[in-house]
Amino acid sequence: MAVAQRVAELESHQLVLEGERERLAAMLAQSQEALDEAYAETRRLNDLWVAAGEQANAALLESAAAAQRASEMENRLLVRTGERDALQDMLAQARSLTEEVLTEASRMNARIIEVEAELGRLRAESEVVLPHIDGAGALSLMRRFSAAGVPLFILRDGALAFRHEQRRRESRVVILSVPKSGTYMYGEILKEFGFIDSGVHGAQWGFADLRWGQKAEILSSLQRRNVPISLQHYIDLVRPGDFLLSHLPFEEETSSLLQPFRRILAIRDLRDCFVSYMRYAAKYRFLADEAATWPGLPEGPERMAGFAESLEATQFFKLSTPVLSWRTDPDVLVLLYEDIVGDNGPEASDAAIKRLGRHVGASEAGQVDLSVILGRDTITASGRRSRWQDYWNQTVDDAFGKLGGHALNEAILAASRLRPTGTQEELPPDR
C-alpha cells in the first residue's frame, strides 16, 4: 500500500515533471525564437550602423569637399574684391582725368575762340596794312629774320618792327652804356616815360633777342638768342616810341645809323662797373676761358684780383673803351649812374631824370619813383649793388691801371664834371 502510494506519487510527480519539461521546452523554444529575433535585429542594426557609417563617411567627404570649394570660392571672392577695388580706383582716376580733360578742352576751346578772333582782327588789319608795305623789300627782310628764328610784326603804317604794341611816343631812343652802368635801369625809366622796350640788346655784329621767356630761361640761353644780323639791317625795326639798349661803340658808321635816335651815354665809376661785371660773369658763368679758376676763389679782393688778370677783364675793357668815345658827340646826353640813384643828393637825381625826360621828348612826364625801379628784377640785376671798396686792394688797383682803367675813369669823371671819390689811401689792405 505504501509502495503503491509511492508509485502513484512518483507517477504523479513524473506527470508534473513531464508537464514542466514541456513547459520548459516551450519556453526554450520561445527563448530561441526571441534570441533569433534578437540576432536578426542585431544584424539589422549592424547593417544600419554600417550604412550610417558609410553615409557619415560620405557626408564627411562631401563636407570636406564643400569646405574646400568654400575656401576656393572665398579666395576667388577676395581676388574679385581686390579687382573690384582696383577697378573702382581706376574708375575714380578715369573720372578725375575726364574732368581734367573736359576742363582743358573748355580752356582750349576758349583759347581757340580768342585766337580766331585775333586772326580775324589781324586779317582785317592786313587788308589795310599790306597795300602800304614795300612788298619785295619787306618780304626779303621778313624771310631773313624768319630764317634766323626771329619773328617780326607789321604795324598799321606798314612798317616792320620788333614789337607790336601801340606807341605813345614819337622819338626813338638808344642807350649807349658802359657795361654794368645801369643799362636796364635806364630802360625801366624810359618805360615809365611811355617808351616801349624793343626787347633786343644791340651790337654791331647783331643783337640778342630777349623778348621771350623769364629771366632764368633768358640767362641760360643767351648764346642761342644771339642773332648775327648786322646793325644796319635791324636798326629800323626799332620804331618811333621804342628804345634800344646797347654797348655800341662810337664809330662813324654806327653814329650815322643812330642819327635819328635820341642817344644817351650811361656812365658810372668804372671801378664799380669792373666789380659788377666780375660778379655777373662769375654768377652766370659768362667766361671767355672755360678753364678759368678765378670764379672759385673766395668772394672779395682775392677773386677780384684773379678776375683782373683774366680774359674776362680784358673783354670788359674791349666793350667799355669804345663806348666812352660817345662822350665827344655833342648830341649825346651823358648821364652818371651815381647822379640817377641819388648818391650825389636828391636834387642831382631829380635834375638828371628831368634832363633825360627833356632829351627823349618826354619832358611832361611826371615824377619817377626810383625806389620802385631799382627794386625791379631786371635781366642783369644781381640782388645788391656792387661797390668797388669791398673788392679792392693794391693788386687789383695795379691790374686795373695796366688795363687802362684809371685813365678811362678820369675821362668818365671829367665827362660827369665830378672828381674821384676814393684815393689810394682809402683802398682796403691786402687779404
Residue in 186, 190, 154, 187 with CA at minimum distance from that of residue 171: 190
Cβ contacts of 349 within 8 Å, gap of 6 or more? 339, 340, 341, 342, 370
Splitting the chain (431 residues) into consecutive groups of 10 residues, what average pLDDT does each group show?
79 81 80 77 78 77 79 80 82 79 75 74 52 61 90 90 93 96 96 96 94 87 90 96 97 96 97 95 84 92 96 94 94 95 93 95 83 87 89 97 95 67 32 28
CA gap 203, 232 in Å, rounded: 10
CA of residue 351 relative to chain centroid, distance: 42
Sheet of strand 207-209, all strands in order from the earlier edge strand to the far edge: 226-227, 207-209, 196-202, 242-246, 172-177, 261-267, 333-336
Question: What b/e string do you get for 366-398 counting C-beta neighbours within 10 Å, with b at 16 or more?
Answer: eebebeebbeeeebbeeeeebebeebbbebbbe
Residue 139 corresponds to which cell in the numbers above?
Answer: 618780304
Residue in 260, 236, 240, 259 with CA at minimum distance from that of residue 141: 236
* CA 364 to each of CA 170, 266, 302, 350: distance values in angstroms, whole numbers, following the listed order: 14, 22, 48, 14
CA max distance for the chain: 200
Neighbours of 234 (CB within 10 A): 24
Residue 229 corresponds to which cell in the numbers above?
Answer: 644780323
CA gap 216, 172 in Å, rounded: 29
Residue in 361, 350, 338 with CA at minimum distance from that of residue 419: 338
Neighbours of 279 (CB within 10 A): 20
Residue 354 corresponds to which cell in the numbers above?
Answer: 628831368
CB 237 within 8 Å of CB 144: no
Amino acid type, 291: A
CB 312 within 8 Å of CB 288: yes
- Top CATH class of 172-426 equals alpha beta
Predicted pLDDT of residue 379: 84
CB 337 within 8 Å of CB 266: yes
Predicted pLDDT of residue 394: 97
What global pTM score does this model have?
0.66
- Going from N- to C-terminal start, the domains of the chain cover 15-132, 172-426
Predicted pLDDT of residue 123: 57
Predicted pLDDT of residue 419: 34
Q: Tell me phi and psi for residue 429, to 5 degrees.
A: -70, 160
Predicted pLDDT of residue 124: 59
Looking only at the bridges linking them, the beta strands covering 160-161 and 153-154 are antiparallel
